Structure 1
Amino acid sequence: MNNPDTEVSVPFASAPAASGAAHVEAPVAYDGILLASFGGPEGQEDVIPFLRNVTRGRGIPDERLEEVATHYRHFGGVSPINAQNRELKRALEAELARRGLDLPVYWGNRNWAPYLDEAVTQADREGRRTLLAISTSAYSSFSSCRQYREDFARVLIDNDLGDRMTIDKVRQFFDHPGFVQPFIDGVEAAIRAYLGDGIPTDTVQVLFSTHSVPMQDAQRSGPRDVDWGEGGAYAAQHLAVAEAVMADIATRLPEAGDVAWKLVYQSRSGPASQPWLEPDINDVIEALPAAGVQAIAIVPLGFVSDHMEVLWDLDNEAKDTAERVGIRAVRTPTPGVDPAYVAGLVDLVEERLRGTPAAERPHRTPLGPWFDVCRPGCCENVRAGFKPAAAGLAP
């Protein structure tokens, strides 16, 4: 049933998901959770090999990789992401146990140890055959969704597990209340602090920041039969979540109703000739004094935890820009292991265990609840085209 050469709607899927329905509304007896993440170096000697993994197939010389490596070397060659995932794994295990769910959590990365191959083959050795994956990316794009699904398919193919193991995936959780709530709390705390310092609300601005992606990739994010606008589903999802956050702030802090906000982008890479999503956060900050802005709250809306892009690009570069132009800046927290976020992830697991109808699934924006089974042609890789992918209809 799971051989990619046979005619199935959804390769490597559990029986209820294999039909290709957008939302799986039948219970699935999963026997393990696969926590999938990006990975990161854990020492100076790991940095260049890690960056080679990230950029494999692009022919980027080590001299250019060393330019990016300086960000990691600033922190001793250690990315925070692996430690954060260990903490998240423990938090998920504790929440699963609290709910009486006997589901082991296997953690694997795309670009550094522990690799996804190790996690999936360990699950196989332990007799776990029906996995439900949670990736540490909330939004729709090639690198944040489809690439993980291609990773799952590759691991099953390379390790000859496609005939006895299935991997489904929880829906993209950008607008699940558990993911959104920590951002609401952070923005509220930041604005309250500025109000307490006597800063007028009409001189405060909230900058919702996420990782920029090439425009061609952004335009291919999400189902292709929907006109998402210039930035595809990726930009539309971020905008919808930012609107939900600010709507809650207006309710909690009526006096903050005139606080302006904007979606901005960060961490751009690649040649200058290639269009990426804009505006860049630093360009926006530099223009704010002329608009009378005195203080900003930088919200890492695109990140689930304090990744290197948060610690370097926001806590260093963006804050340095704000200081240089004379604007106060605070960076609000990422979800990390916030209890609401962890509980929300386990809610997503229970959603699939029970086959919860889509109409009963919580979501904070009109775009949700997102799909359990990705639609054909969703989030194509412009450079490489389509490869076999789990948890979605074949293109």
Structure 2
Amino acid sequence: MTAPYDALLFISFGGPEGPDDVIPFLENVLRGRNVPRERLLEVAEHYNHFGGVSPINAQVRDLIAAVQADFAAHDLALPIYWGNRNWKPYLPDTLAQMKADGVRRTLGFVVSAYSSYSSCRQYRENIEAAQRQVGEDAPNVDKIRVFYNHPDFIAANSEQVRTAIQSLPAALQTRPFVAFTAHSIPSSMAAGCDYEKQLGETARLVAESLGLVPDQWRVVYQSRSGRPEDPWLDPDICDFIRTLNPETDPALVIAPIGFLSDHMEVLFDLDEQAAEVSAEHGITMARAATVGIHPRFVGMIRQLVQERLNPEAPREAIGLYGPNWDVCAANCCPAPVYPGRPSRPAT
């Protein structure tokens, strides 16, 4: 029986790997978006603070190596490729290499757990644009479903949060407040997708697995960009910390469940800014690690591949909503609408 796919393609955001990469990378990220130049330069300083190197590319390499080892341990012979939206290796270059290697049909694993324009549909648009650039016989790419409620994703996040709680002073471990963070997006983008609902479900499932009561956790946001007058999802994590009462909530665990690796926005926005605000506000803070290369997360990726290779394989999901669909609807997750700019047509 012929296998339905002959490769797996990792599709990620990309990041600079040296000081000279920072401005060109950010210009790629912000091209066509209503973001002031001053904000670009401000974000550039975040990268320069860490030597102009984002950890995201190295972390994707580590994840691919872990998945390759897991594939080998489970006799799954599927080559893995990798292409980025905003930096090398660029997605069109990767598809061109796959075409040269004879790859015709591949599964695409977007390194994002949730549905929104920027975390799902835009990647599908990137794939289509790359296919047009490669031309005839460009590989077909079928995107793997989002996995915000996969039991192994929940288990991996729960273990990371539990470890963070245990890192607090013993007297503060009994009832810390847990703030689940994710990248803020424009409210107009959120209105057209399930991003908030899915984040809320992931947070709820992790909180329940840890025995947290409802007034002990909430979802907050970080890393917003764009014009200050444009509405984005809130509250911001730093603003939220300032609302906590150090007498009743002396310990805070920040769990970045909206991210899969400890890349720049996690390191700067949480380990630097949120940590500083927490200290100023008299709150002891611990930051949970992202799922990274946690074995449960790595195994989940293999399971998501196996369910597409074998229609009889179980489609794992827990909670209220069941497994997400494999093929997105034509009008799914539309682009955000900014004041004074026309909306983008669906593609």
Q: Above 0.5 in TM-score?
A: yes
Partners of 1:258 and 1:270 lie apart in 2 by 32
**Matching residue within 164, 172, 181 for 1:209:** 181
Shift of 1:365: 2.2
Is residue 134 of structure 1 aligned with residue 134 of structure 2?
no
Identify the structure with bigger relative contact order (alpha carbons < 8 Å, sequence gap 6+).
Answer: 1
Structure 1 partner of 2:257:
301
**Matching residue within 88, 91, 96 for 2:71:** 96
Partners of 1:333 and 1:317 lie apart in 2 by 16
Matched ranges for 1:99-248 at <5 A: 99-161=74-136, 163=137, 165-194=139-168, 197-199=170-172, 201-202=174-175, 204-221=176-193, 233-248=194-209
Is residue 51 of structure 1 aligned with residue 7 of structure 2?
no
Contact 1:150 1:387 in 2 (8 A): no
Structure 2 partner of 1:15:
none
Q: 1:364 to 1:66 in 2, by over 3 A?
A: same
Contact 1:218 1:234 in 2 (8 A): yes
Partners of 1:239 and 1:29 lie apart in 2 by 34
Structure 1 partner of 2:273:
317
Structure 2 partner of 1:363:
317
Partners of 1:262 and 1:99 lie apart in 2 by 38
Q: 1:348 to 1:258 in 2, by over 3 A?
A: closer
Shift of 1:132: 0.3
Matched ranges for 1:346-357 at <5 A: 346-356=302-312
Letter in 2 for 1:197: A
Matched ranges for 1:243-322 at <5 A: 243-250=204-211, 257=213, 260-289=216-245, 292-322=248-278
Tell me how many residue pairs correspond in the alignment. Answer: 341
Cα displacement string for residues 54-82 of structure 1 (whole angstroms, at most 9, x for unaligned residues): 01123756554211100000000000100
Structure 2 partner of 1:6:
none
Contact 1:32 1:132 in 2 (8 A): yes
Cα displacement string for residues 174-216 of structure 1 (whole angstroms, at most 9, x for unaligned residues): 111222222101222233444x6123734x2000000000000
Unaligned runs of 5+ in 1: 1-26, 222-232, 251-255, 389-395
Q: 1:127 to 1:332 in 2, by over 3 A?
A: same
Shift of 1:126: 0.5
Partners of 1:258 and 1:199 lie apart in 2 by 18
TM-score by length of 1: 0.82
Q: Any idea what SS the aligned residue of 2:171 has?
A: coil
Structure 2 partner of 1:87:
62
Letter in 2 for 1:201: T
Q: 1:262 to 1:97 in 2, by over 3 A?
A: same
Contact 2:167 2:286 in 1 (8 A): no
Cα displacement string for residues 213-262 of structure 1 (whole angstroms, at most 9, x for unaligned residues): 000000111xxxxxxxxxxx101101111111111112xxxxx6587001
Shift of 1:281: 0.8
Q: Any idea what SS the aligned residue of 2:87 has?
A: coil
Shift of 1:290: 6.0
Computed over aligned residues only, the root mean square deviation of the Cα atoms, in angstroms, reads 1.9
Partners of 2:303 and 2:319 lie apart in 1 by 17
Partners of 1:258 and 1:347 lie apart in 2 by 31
Percent of aligned pairs sharing the same letter:
44
